[in-house]
Each structure stands twice: as structure tokens, then as C-alpha cells.
Chains A and B, each alone.
Chain A
Amino acid sequence: MNSSLRILLRSLLGALLVLALPLRAEELRLAVASNFTAAFQQLAPRFEQATGHRLKPSFGSTGKLYAQIRQGAPFEILLAADDQHGKLLIESGLGVPGSEFIYAVGRLVLWSAQPELVGGSHEILASERFRRLAIANPLTAPYGAAAIQTLEHLELYDSVRDKLVQGENIAQALQFTYSGNAELGFIAWAQLKALPAKQQGSFWLVPEDLHEPIRQEAILLRQGEDSQAARAFLDFLQSPQTRALLKEWGYDTPEAEPR
């Protein structure tokens, strides 16, 4: 008698705990720009543990994700690598007006897996000491576009043009350089920082005045308009804790913008 009462009490307590969790644990589908992959994978478990919601990210170049959303891809949130595509989505009625905000400002870095090759400057680009320079496809990937702007600014575009190889997105540009098939690559600072220290090779952090700022915008999509989880994630993304982490991982975070 005594023990069965205890079991009853315990199960009641258990039921209460379950009810105390968010009313409904939702599944949230996000389109995430490739450069943010490592950061997202660090952030996701923190969010999931705190809220009980599940995150299902799809990674790709911003342009590709944009094209998919235009064709009805089932995403609730877009984390873009620029501040253009979100606006286009709002204009076409697929994004929620006023939901957009800059969650991170990316930095471009010229990187080589070889420890000695890039001596902290862009001089290597004018030399003959490399055969291939990997970038992300500038038509779809904002980091690729920033790489082209940087080369043009340095007046090196014409001389390195024949050495350019394009990754489908910035993750592939990283992979081309990481595997050594391209000696040099323009990648995201955050991608480089996510690598183990021994594999970080040599790099040159591109000064921000050499390209348009890489202002990465988050936007709530129409399909996520009524989602508690989506709102919770967007709040989480601009919380002081998240911003501090992003800074540590290689992103600048803009001054708090009122939403």
C-alpha cells in the first residue's frame, strides 16, 4: 500500500514535469547559410536543451536557399549571409515584414592550409607561389561576392582570374583549400576559427574596407509566422549570451538593434 502510493505520487510528479515543459515541443526547419554551419551546430544543442524544441537545419549558399524558398521549400527561418535576400523575400510576400535583423557580421579571410604560405598579408596573391585560389560561387554566395570585391579593390582580379576555382558554397571553398587541392582560399573567419588549432595553417584577415560589409540577416518566413519555436529561436539568436559566443567564434555583432 505504502509503496504503491509512492509510485502514484512519483508518476504524478513526472506528469507535472512533462507538463511544465513548453506546451508543445515543435520542430523548426531553418535554411542556414553555409558559413554559419559550425556556429549553428554549437548553438543548436543549447537552444534545444533550453526550450525542448528541435532544430532541423539545411545548409547551403544564400542564393540557393533563397531560390528554394521561392519554390516553396518548407522553412520557417532563413539565416542568410547577406542583407539582400531577406528583403527580396519580404517584397515577394514570403518573409514576415519587420522580422529581419542582423545576427552577425562576417569577416572574410584569405587562408592556406600550409602554415607558411600566407604571411599575414595579401602579397601572396601577386606571387606565382600558388596555382589555385578557391572562392565560393559569387553569384549565389555573399562571401564569394566579397572575395571578388576584395580582389578588384586590390587590382589583382585580372591577374588571378585564371586561378580561381569556385565552390558551390563557402563550405566547399573551405574543403577545396583544406584538402590542398587549392593552395589558397577565401573563406569565412568563423570557418577558420572552428578548425583545430593545428590545422589553421596561415591566413590574412581581409580588412573590412576592401569589400561591402557582410551583414548577415535573419528573417522569419511566412511559414513560421505562427510558430512559437521560431520566435523563441530568433530571440535566442540575439540574446547577449549568443552574441558573446558569436564574437568568440569570429563574427562581429552589430550594436543591439531595436526590433
Chain B
Amino acid sequence: MGLTEADWQAVWLTLRLATLTTLILLVLATPLAWWLAHTRSRLRHPIAAIVALPLVLPPTVLGFYLLLLMGPNGPVGELTQWLGIGTLAFTFTGLVIASVLYSLPFAVQPLQNAFESIGQRPFEVAATLRAGPWDRFLSIALPLARPGLLTACVLTFAHTIGEFGVILMIGGNIPGETKVLSIAIYDHVETLEYGRANLLAAGMLVFSFLVLLGLHLSNRRVRLYRL
């Protein structure tokens, strides 16, 4: 028994969601993590706490507020309607936004740890060699933070693949649009299609294991970052 077309569609959709979320978070999280690692501003504590919120909040809290915010009477919903793109609940775009929020700490924290562990010394040396801020960031920070960067990417990607509660609340179970793998498995289980559920679930299990194993192996010699 192989995967049906609908199951493949869910796999493909999930991969697209995870890839897009990872790319967006790389762009957003890198400067944020850099700022958190170096600023002395008092704001850094509240902002670090906000970034970490998705780690402790149940997905239902995020799903609930997203549904209200993106709804026709919510501020985001009013904006998107004004822009002529309608409301975002039950759309792929809506899922991407939710996933970016939901996986934010998984991208920011490893990067922040990596930047912090570099310390000030290499930058001071570079500055004496007349490297500008951009130069220092590109030729020192990024290469030295490579393991952190890799950890951030892998964790974000894997965490988005494993997203369930938020999507259940704002997705609407639309094939090819919002019906991701975890929802497809849930549907199979609820309709007692254990064979199909098992196929997808076992695939997820193996995939997740390999991802984490690969991550640990690649970080082995450098240093293991806090997950």
C-alpha cells in the first residue's frame, strides 16, 4: 500500500510551508538575534520574553488570537481586506504567518546563543584592522555562527513540519491549501484509516529522527547548542 494522491499533496504542502517559513525566519531572526546578543537596551528582556512565548503558550492561544486578528473585524483582517486580498484564515499565506510566529524562538535562540558565544574579541580585532560593521558581520559573525545558523534552520524546518494545533484552528482542512501532514494523519486516525495514518506517521517519525541525528552529528565537533 503506497501513499495516495491526497497524501502526497499533504506531504508536498507541508514541505512548502516548512521551507518558506524557514527562509522567512532566517531573514527576520538573524538581525533580531544579533540585536538581542549585543544590545544593552532595557528592551531586550521584554523582547526576548516575547520571542520565547510560543515555547510556553499552548497553540490554541496563538490560534485563537490569530483567528480574531485575521478575521474580517480584526485589525489584520481589515488591513488585508483594504489591500484587496481578503481575509487570511483558511489560506496558505495565513499558515505561513502563523508558522513564522510559532517557530520564532526556534530560529532566534540558537542564533542568539551562537552570536553571544563569539564574544567581543574577534570584532575588536577586526575593527583595529579597519573592517566596517557590515564586513565584520559578514566575514566574522556569520561564519563563526554557522553551527547556530544550521541549528536554527533545521529546528525551524522540523518544528513547522510538526505544527498541528495552530493549523487545526485556523486552517479549515482544505486539501492542497491548508491540509498539512499532521492534519492528514489526524483525519486518517479519526476515520479509523490506521493503515494510511501509520504510513504517514511512520514517515514523520523516521524523518524527524534523521533530522535530529544529522543535527547532532554535524554539531558534534563544534559545540551542541541548547535546543
- Contact check, B67 vs A67: say whether CB atoms are below 8 A apart: no
We find that the number of chain B residues with CB closer than 8 angstroms to chain A is 19
Which A residues touch B115, using CB under 8 A?
none
Which A residues touch B174, using CB under 8 A?
164-166
> Residue of B at shortest CB range from A61?
B190
A131 at the B interface (CB under 8 A): yes
Binds A, one of B12-20, B30-38, B82-90: B82-90
Binds B, one of A94-102, A149-157, A173-181, A204-212: A173-181
Which B residues touch A176, using CB under 8 A?
89-90, 172
- Contact check, A168 vs B87: say whether CB atoms are below 8 A apart: no
- Contact check, B173 vs A166: say whether CB atoms are below 8 A apart: yes
Question: Which B residues, 131 to 186, have Cβ-Cβ distances below 8 Å to chain A?
Answer: 168, 172-174
- Nearest Cβ distance between residue A91 and chain B, in whole angstroms? 14
A197 to B71, CA, bound (A): 22
Binds B, one of A132-140, A230-238, A251-259: A132-140
Which B residues touch A218, using CB under 8 A?
none
- Contact check, B90 vs A132: say whether CB atoms are below 8 A apart: yes
A122 at the B interface (CB under 8 A): no
A182 to B86, CA, bound (A): 11
Which A residues touch B192, using CB under 8 A?
67, 70
- Contact check, B172 vs A166: say whether CB atoms are below 8 A apart: yes
> Residue of A at shortest CB range from B193?
A139
> Residue of A at shortest CB range from B70?
A181
B187 at the A interface (CB under 8 A): yes
Cβ contact of B73, chosen from A63, A167, A180, cutoff 8 A: A180
A61 to B89, CA, bound (A): 22
Question: Which B residues, 193 to 222, have Cβ-Cβ distances below 8 Å to chain A?
Answer: none
Q: Do A180 and B71 contact each other (CB < 8 Å), given the known contacts A132-B90, A165-B90? A: yes
Annotate A88-132 by CB proximity to B: 1 below 8 A, 0 otherwise: 000000000000000000000000000000000000000000011
- Nearest Cβ distance between residue A169 and chain B, in whole angstroms? 10
Q: B residues bordering A, Cβ < 8 Å?
A: 67-68, 70-73, 86-87, 89-90, 168, 172-174, 187, 189-192
Q: Can you name 8 A-B residue pairings with CB atoms under 8 Å?
A: A64-B190, A67-B190, A131-B87, A132-B172, A137-B190, A139-B187, A180-B71, A181-B72
- With A166-B173, A182-B90 known, 16 other A-B pairs at CB within 8 A are A63-B190, A67-B191, A70-B192, A131-B86, A131-B87, A132-B172, A137-B173, A137-B187, A139-B190, A165-B173, A166-B174, A176-B89, A176-B172, A179-B71, A180-B71, A181-B87
